[in-house]
Amino acid sequence: MKLKNIFLLILFTTSFITYSQTNNELSLSLELNNQENYEKIAFGGNVKFTKWLNNYFGLQGGLKVYKHEVDFYINSPISNNEDYYFSEDKRFEIQGILGFSLSSPIHSNFGIMLESSFLFNIIPYDNISYSIDSKNKIGKTSNYESKKYDEWIYNHFNPSFSLELSIFVSKKSSPSRLNFGIGINNQNPLNAYYRATIDGYKLKDYADLYFDKMNIVLFIRFSAMLNTNQDEKEYL
């Protein structure tokens, strides 16, 4: 009897979800990311697909791309005459997004949305560039030499999470809407350097690469419905 009840519950739940899955949403976001740990500004964007199970809850997945700078140096742990310089004007990160959305209409033309996402690097390896600058003094003359290096680092997929709150505006029966929002995430843009080992020494032991502050994100998002149930012609 219990087995029958469980079967009926599963059947009912599956049928309800299947009926409710009538709204697919595609969105494009542009964002400004204030990286508190490193006092840098990163620019990025993402594309997300949301499957709304009902008017208030949806599951989402997508891709995020952002650009940031790298600029720091450390004194060599093995020589007083050497310094390690790490500098990249344009470093790009590509991440996958998995999460959920909660939507709460306040009026027919606007509402609020809360989104929570898990982010991870699509490629588990990163390339880092650095130079070792050395100074050799011969008599009263000092000679400077700089050598550049590249290494591939296993980044452990650089997992992180984000939480975003936004206000959306849409017209009644319109297939599109506009979101303005703010969010936080614990993404470490220098994760590859944090995990790097050079000359047998871990960079994290000699440079302040540990993440202990949340990043603040400001974003704008445009989204459109891909299909809508005939009985639900108003936007979520």
CATH of the domain at 153: 2.40.160.20
pLDDT at 44: 93
* Structural domain count of the chain: 1
Segments of the chain with pLDDT less than 70 = 1-22, 36-39, 136-142, 210-211, 228-236
Is 41 inside any structural domain?
Answer: yes
pLDDT at 23: 85
pLDDT at 160: 93
Is 111 inside any structural domain?
Answer: yes
State the residue range of the domain holding 210. 23-227
Is 14 inside any structural domain?
Answer: no
Is 141 inside any structural domain?
Answer: yes
pLDDT at 77: 79
Is 155 inside any structural domain?
Answer: yes
Half-sphere exposure of 77 (CA within 13 A, CB side): 11
Q: pTM here? A: 0.80
pLDDT at 35: 75
Residue with tokens 């000359």: 199
Is 10 inside any structural domain?
Answer: no
pLDDT at 208: 72
Is 133 inside any structural domain?
Answer: yes
Is 234 inside any structural domain?
Answer: no
